[in-house]
Structure 1
Amino acid sequence: MAHTTTSIDIAATPEKVWQLIGGFDSLPDWLPYIPSSTLSDGGRIRHLANPAGDVIVEQLETYDNTSRSYSYSILQAPFPATDYLSTLQVEPLAGGAGARVTWSGRFTPVGASEQEVTDLFHGIYVTGLEALQQSLAK
């Protein structure tokens, strides 16, 4: 099983960051790669579309509003991976100087090398967190 993780420090309170990203349906609010999201199954399943029109279906696995984190799995996606589990977490920076957002994932590559799939997800996480930072800087 492969994994990747990345973090970014943001000059906003953890509460403000979580308010933007903490909803399981909030990806279109900050992630340009995902222009639409629709919830089903009582809010536990999200149906996403990317700009190419590919469908991505994800399931909420854990949600902790107090620790500002949630984990989700992929049920359907055009990615060369299975057994995908990812976590988004927001933590306060020391001294109250902002928030650190960490996006991590583990997965089993299928039909591609471990490095290729790791690079794919790492790239999504990095560009996603950079977009989040830009959204909060406005």
Structure 2
Amino acid sequence: MAATSATIDIPRSPDAVWRLIGGFDSLPDWLPYIPHSELSEGGRVRRLTNQDGGVIVERLMAFDHGRRSYSYAIEQAPFPVTDYLSTLTVHEVPGSPEASRVEWSGTFTPAGATDEEAEALFHTIYADGLDALSGTLAA
């Protein structure tokens, strides 16, 4: 199994960041390359459409509002992995109540790619996504 993660510090309170990203259907609000999200199964499944019209279907596996975290699995996507599980978490920064550390991490089994290729792919997705989050919050 392979894994990767990315983090970013953002000069906004954890509650403010969580209000933006804490909804399972909120990716279009802060992630430009996912302009459309549609929930089904009572909000447990999201069908994402990327800028190119590609579809990604993800299932919410865990949600903890108090810890500002949720985890999801990919059910359908054009990625060379299986057994994908990702977690998005907003942490407090000790001593900085108006700052947040956002972590996006994932584990997966490469399928048709090496561990290094799959890790590089998702690290880029996570890092670019967190940069987009920072830009959205700065606007």
| TM-score, normalization by structure 2 | 0.98
**Stretches (4+) displaced over 6 A:** none
Q: How does 1:13-32 map onto structure 2 within 5 Å?
A: 13-32=13-32
Which residue of 2 is the match for residue 8 of structure 1?
A: 8
**Secondary structure at 2:67's aligned position in 1?**
coil
Aligned AA (2:94)? A
- Structure 1 position 13, deviation (Å): 0.4
**Per-residue deviation, 1:97:** 4.0
Q: How do residues 77-96 of structure 1 correspond to structure 2 at under 5 angstroms?
A: 77-95=77-95, 96=97
1:134 correspondence with 2:132: no
Match of 1:122 in 2: 123
The within-5 A match list for 1:56-75 is 56-75=56-75
Distance 1:14 1:97 in 2: 7
CA drift of 1:94 comes to 1.2
Pairs within 5 Å for 1:33-112: 33-95=33-95, 96-112=97-113
**Helix, strand or coil: the match of 1:131?**
helix
State the distance in 2 between where 1:110 and 1:10 align: 34
The amino acid of 1:131's aligned partner reads A
SS at match of 2:59: strand
Identity of aligned residues (%): 60
Q: Which runs of 5+ in 1 are unaligned?
A: none
Unaligned runs of 5+ in 2: none
Q: Distance in 2 between matches of 1:33 and 1:124?
A: 10
TM-score, normalising length: structure 1: 0.98
Give the number of equivalent residue pairs: 138
Deviates more, 1:16-25 or 1:91-100: 91-100
